[in-house]
Structure 1
Amino acid sequence: MSTSLAIPTIDISALLTYSSSKQQRQEVATELLNSFATFGVFYITSSTHPVFSSKKSKQILDATTRLFALDPTQKSQIPKIQPGGFTRGYVPVGGESGSATKELKEGFSYGYEWKPDELEAVAKTGMNGLQGPNAWPNKPILDQLDQGLHEGTFKHILQEFYLNVCEVAKGLLKGISLALGLPEDELAKHCTTSETISFMRLFHYLPYADHQHTSQIGSSAHTDWGFLTLILSPCKTVGLQLFYGNEWHDVPSLENTLVVNGGDYLSLLTGGKLISPLHRVVSNGQEERYSMCCFYYPDYDAKIPLLVQDQEVKGQAVSGNYSLLRDQRAEEGEDSSRTSVMGAERQDAKSVATKLLNGDINFGDYIVSKWTQVYRKDRAY
């Protein structure tokens, strides 16, 4: 049985407008710090940014439900995610899992839409392991998805939503920097190409009858690996849960808000001062559920110094139970405290954390290896 917590809602308008004062931004930063340090998860809202409007929420929900309402034959024609760490395209039911438990969800993964001239420029230096073109449905399917949508095509609605959420993430970077006593542009310096490697996941969670969530689950209990996760939950169906105080608590949907989760990498960089919360998605056994999750990353080659200089806090950086440092492959009987880094031999989690924090491993290469871990070939469990 789960209960609800008094998870705070923070108005971040001051971080999204040029006209706000330093004092207004600092006040928001203090709220962010308290929420990150207490729960690691909170709601954000703003009357100044379109992504929080009911209109935009309905648009992206309409596009998402249309996508997942396609028949199996049509879904089979959408390019599927592939092993290797770069995730774009359709995620079939059981195609990924953060544990040995089958996750009853399907998804669609997309990110930055490269313009032809940008692709030409990047081709000269080469794309990194988290960059690449989106894998859209074919034209007949896109034409079908466009029918009945208002004020935009399927692709336009998805692309606009992604860029809007990235704008909000950039605003949060200012607030987090201020919360840590740093110049407000400090974290932005490490996120100059974030839009091109971060991505959005549209999720459709299916109902299941296992109330113990042992053989099936919506999303396995995990912490997020990166910097920030921003989630739109436009459905009233409860599913997202936070582990706090040794029990699970519902994180209900609130209109005109996004849910923010702190990520493992951000938590590590602050010595655990900012929490990366353990969370999962479950089913009530009757209703399906939709959500849109943006995984916001720092630059691929980011080697960010510790953001908290307190020596006592620094020592906590490698002691947390981070999914980032666990092996999340499906094999049973393996030590979850050991992990594979870029295909190399397994190493102790503390050693991996130290290498990340020392800059011996860059963020992007490590994240590529993590996505390889949760890919399920032939949906085998």
Structure 2
Amino acid sequence: MEIERVQEIASLSNLNGTIPIEFIRSENEQPATTTIHGVTLEVPVIDLSDLDDQKLVASIFEASKDWGIFQVVNHDITSEVISKLQKVGKEFFELPQEEKEAIAKPVGYKGVEGYGTKLQKEVEGKKGWVDHLFHRVWPPSAINYQFWPKNPPSYRETNEQYTSMLIGVANKLLGFLSKGLGLEEGEIKQGLGGEDLTYMLKINYYPPCPCPELALGVVPHTDMSSITILVPNEVQGLQVFKDGHWYDVAYIPNALIIHIGDQMEILSNGIYKSVYHRTTVNKEKTRMSWPMFLEPPSEFEVGPIPKLINQDNPPKYKTKKYKDYVYCKLNKLPQ
């Protein structure tokens, strides 16, 4: 069965100035009517070069509790490495269609890795204005290179270099998040699978859309991961739901955007909040983003950390295997 890719639909849509009906959101979801215009959300910005660990722990704790999202600067991943990551990702999406299809998700395949378009069940058969590529980048035992692009030739080396630098940032963040809850530095990471914690990269490709006020790139959601570390390109598009409204998030050059995900909310027994967010699209420009999801291994059980539970604070979430959590979430089943 031929799957229509948004990138191909976009080139036809831009010629006639309309988009297919399945991409037009219902009125209560359309960005034009649901965004607070003229206000950009200044989410917390945290400088990781600060030598005061206590201050870092406190600011990350507050941001994760009150916002579920923050940006980090001076994170030690060079702008050159980030630029190369963006360049090879963009080059992959600019390849001829048949070359991209060579690493598409196989028919009947139950995993998420590979090139694709649709990810989860959508109400009323609606679609997001986005194509994507998923593949695991760490640990080595979790990697399946059949889903990594062969072109551009530097793709693998670039992604491995970025991943090796990102792991240091991730360990630092998980340590701070752990200490914020009054735990030992390594306890959050252990609660997510320790050294088997899986790094899943996604590249989102949102082509120009002739009717950006009617469509969404990715629908409102929280991430299933523990945390997500995201690199955007220069085109604005991330929106966060705060105090009952949708707001654009202001990007800072060379910052990494950190989302608190569902597993972190579960581990912390609701102290940290998974951020509810969505993405909009642009009329003239292609928007891209590179989220890295830090996920427990599929068979690993995640639940509230026992030290955080007591008579006055009973568990608010079930303990379950990560793969079962994912299945329920993607299929819109109760957890």
* TM tier, smaller: 0.7 to 0.9
CA distance in 2, matches of 1:242, 1:313: 28
The alignment status of 1:167 with 2:165, answered yes or no, reads no
1:219-368 → structure 2 map (5 Å cutoff): 219-233=218-232, 235-300=233-298, 301-306=300-305, 308-309=308-309, 314=314, 317=316, 353-354=317-318, 356=319, 361-368=320-327
Which residue is equivalent to 1:33? 61
Residue 364 of structure 1 and its aligned partner are, at CA, apart by: 3.4
Structure 1 counterpart of 2:252, which letter? L
Distance 1:282 1:310, change over 3 A: farther
- The DSSP-based 3-state class of the residue aligned with 1:198 is strand
> Residue 73 in 1 paired to residue 98 in 2?
yes
Instruction: Report the TM-score, using the length of structure 1 for normalisation.
Output: 0.69
- State the shift of 1:99 in Å: 2.7
Structure 1 residue 229, shift from structure 2 partner? 0.8
Whether 1:135 and 2:146 are equivalent positions in the alignment is: yes
TM-fit CA distance, 1:272: 2.1
Mapping 1:77-156, distance limit 5 Å: 77-80=102-105, 85-91=110-116, 93=117, 95-97=118-120, 99-100=122-123, 101-112=126-137, 131=142, 133-136=144-147, 142=151, 145-146=152-153, 153-156=154-157
Structure 1 residues 226 and 187: CA distance shift in structure 2, 3 A: same
Q: Structure 1 residues 255 and 313 mapped into 2: Cα distance closer, same or farther (>3 Å)?
A: farther
Post-superposition Cα deviations, 1:125-172, rounded to whole Å, max 9, x if no partner, equal xxxxxx45132467xx52xx13xxxxxx21110122233323322111
Aligned to 1:255, what secondary structure does the other structure show? Answer: coil
2:291 maps to a residue whose letter is C
- How far the C-alpha of 1:314 sits from its partner, in A, is 4.2
Counterpart contact for 1:88–1:134, Cα < 8 Å: no
| Amino acid across the alignment from 1:134 | Y
Task: Give distance in 2, aligned partners of 1:297 and 1:365.
Answer: 13
Whether contact under 8 Å (2:104, 2:114) holds in the other structure is: yes
Please tell me whether the aligned partners of residues 97 and 219 of structure 1 are also in contact (alpha carbons under 8 angstroms).
no
1:378 corresponds in structure 2 to none
From the two aligned structures, give the one with the greater strand fraction.
Answer: 2
SS in 2 for 1:173: helix
Provide the C-alpha distance between the structure 2 equivalents of 1:32 and 1:370, rounded to a whole number of angstroms. Answer: 27
Q: CA deviation at 1:312?
A: 5.3
Identity of aligned residues (%): 21
Aligned length: 291
Whether the 8 Å contact between 2:138 and 2:200 is mirrored in structure 1 is no
Matched, 1:4 2:40: yes
- SS of structure 2 residue aligned to 1:293: strand
Q: Which runs of 5+ in 1 are unaligned?
A: 15-19, 119-130, 147-152, 318-352, 375-381
Quick one: structure 1 residues 97 and 189, their matched pair in 2 at CA, closer, same or farther if it must change by over 3 Å?
A: closer
Per-residue CA deviations over 1:241-272 (Å, capped at 9, x if unaligned) read: 00001111111321121101111121123232
Query: Structure 2: any 5+ residue segments left out of the alignment?
Result: 1-34
CA spacing shift, 1:248–1:303, aligned 2, 3 Å: closer
**1-side partners of 2:148 and 2:171: how far apart?**
29
Aligned to 2:180: 179
